[in-house]
Every structure is written in C-alpha cells, then in structure tokens.
Amino acid sequence: MDHEVDPQLTDAIEKTSVVRPPKQALATFGSTSVRYYLVTEPAYRGLAGAGEDPESVVREGVVRAERPQVVTPYFLSRHEGFGNHTQQYLDHLMEAYGPDSPGLLYTYKNDAMETSIVTGTPDEVATRIGERLDREERSLEAVVRGIDEMWDVSLMKFIYELTNRSARTNFNELRNNGLLGVDDGIPREARHRIERLMSQARAGQAKPAEVHRELERWGLFDEYQDRFLSLFRK
C-alpha cells in the first residue's frame, strides 16, 4: 500500500542544501564531532509586526557520530523497538543477501544547540559563516541552509549526506584492516567491539548491561558467559 508523502516534508528536503560541508570524512576507528550552523529564514518573517530589515535564524550545535559499527541483517533483526514493516524489510535483506552480510551502522547524537537571530538574509549569513570557517580552516564544521519550520528535517538531510560521503572511506578502511571478514556469522569488527566493551566495563567506563545487550544481539552470550560473569567478581 502506497503512503502519501507530506508535501511540506518534501519541500523541506528539496530546499535544504549544505553550503559548506566538513572537509573531513567521519572517522572509521573513533567518534567524530561536527559543529554545524543551520541557517534559516525566520518563520515569523512577513507576519504583522515583523521588522523590515532582513534577519536569519542560526542554530549552532554539535553532531556527535559514534564509531561506525559493522552489523548484519541478523544483528539488526534482534534489535528491539522496530515495527512490523521494519522486520519484514530485514527478513527481505536476509533472504536476498544472507543473514551475515556485513554493513555499517551509524549512530548520532545532537548536542548543545544554541539559537540566535542575526542580521542579513539566510544566503548572506550562510556565505559569511562559510567564508569564516574556510579562513580559519575549520575542517569539522559545516554550514547548512535549511527551513525554519522543519529545521530538524534539514539537519537530518545534512547528517544523511555526511554519512553518505563517509561510508565508502569507512568501508574501505575496515576492509583493508580485515574487519569486514565474517567468522561463524560474526564480523571480526563485532568481536573487536565486544572486547572493547569488556575492557571498558572492567574499568568502570561501560555498564555490564551494555555488554550483555551486545552479546545477546549477536547470539554470543553462551560463548562469553564466564567472562561476562567475571565482570561482577571483585
């Protein structure tokens, strides 16, 4: 059954553009923090009482991208919180490519967003900020021209394009380091991730529940059970 797409959503996607993308791709073997400046025309523009001088809204924040994870359709199918349609799609992926076909999973967090009103049209302000970032050689900062009423959609489009630009580099670096190989249905990178979580839990930098969750999603709890239980021994 076809679902109608909200025309306002489509309009926001089409009118959002990345004026100045980051000069670096997302890191393959660590987290990456990207500062963004999302510039929009105020939603109140044109309303009675609004000033005549052009103004722009600038939302400044930091998107933190965690280290990309190598996952498989089987791993994703064991995540909670997905609806029936998502599960059907994952079943399709497992049938088409196999349950152990590796792919990359990116997770993000939007931190510390601040909003300000500045003088100038959105295009002028976006260009001005971009030129400053170029002069200062800010390699992990970006300028996005978006839509005020749907600024979150504009931000998500930026994140999608950032991910898309980085994925090939990340995939190749993981492959060159032998981490895309799959042993007994488990990508090597996933076992490395479990070992990192184990070490972090022993050092008090991660909760044992995080380790347990990762083991369960890969169906590896029995294999790691003794080592997991040792996290609770003093």
Residue-wise pLDDT tens digits, 56-91: 999 999 999 999 999 988 888 777 666 666 677 778
Give me the pLDDT at residue 48, please. Answer: 43
Q: 27 lies in a domain?
A: yes
What's the chain's length in residues? Answer: 234
pLDDT of 209 above 50: yes
Dist CA 14 CA 142 (whole Å): 18
User: Could you give the percent of the chain with pLDDT greater than 70?
Assistant: 91
Mean pLDDT of 112-137: 95
Nearby residues of 164 by Cβ (< 8 Å), 6 or more positions away:
none
Mean pLDDT of 198-224: 94
DSSP H helices in the chain: 7-15, 73-77, 84-97, 122-135, 151-176, 188-202, 208-218, 221-229
Mean pLDDT of 32-38: 96
pLDDT of 225 above 60: yes
Q: Which two tokens stand for residue 9?
A: 């959503």
Question: How many domains is the chain built from?
Answer: 1
Give me the pLDDT at residue 50, please. Answer: 54
Q: 154 lies in a domain?
A: yes
pLDDT of 234 above 70: no
Give me the pLDDT at residue 73, please. Answer: 85
pLDDT of 230 above 50: yes
Mean pLDDT of 126-147: 97
For the four alpha carbons of 108, 110, 112 and 117, in that order, the dihedral sign comes to positive
Q: 18 lies in a domain?
A: yes
What residue numbers bound the domain in which 39 lies?
7-68+106-177
Q: 199 lies in a domain?
A: no
Q: 197 lies in a domain?
A: no
* Ranges 42-51, 55-64, 99-108, 173-182: which has the least confidence: 42-51
Q: 16 lies in a domain?
A: yes
Give me the pLDDT at residue 1, please. Answer: 43
Give me the pLDDT at residue 46, please. Answer: 60
Q: 218 lies in a domain?
A: no
Give me the pLDDT at residue 53, please. Answer: 81
- Residue 220's φ and ψ, nearest 5 degrees, are -115, 10
Q: 140 lies in a domain?
A: yes
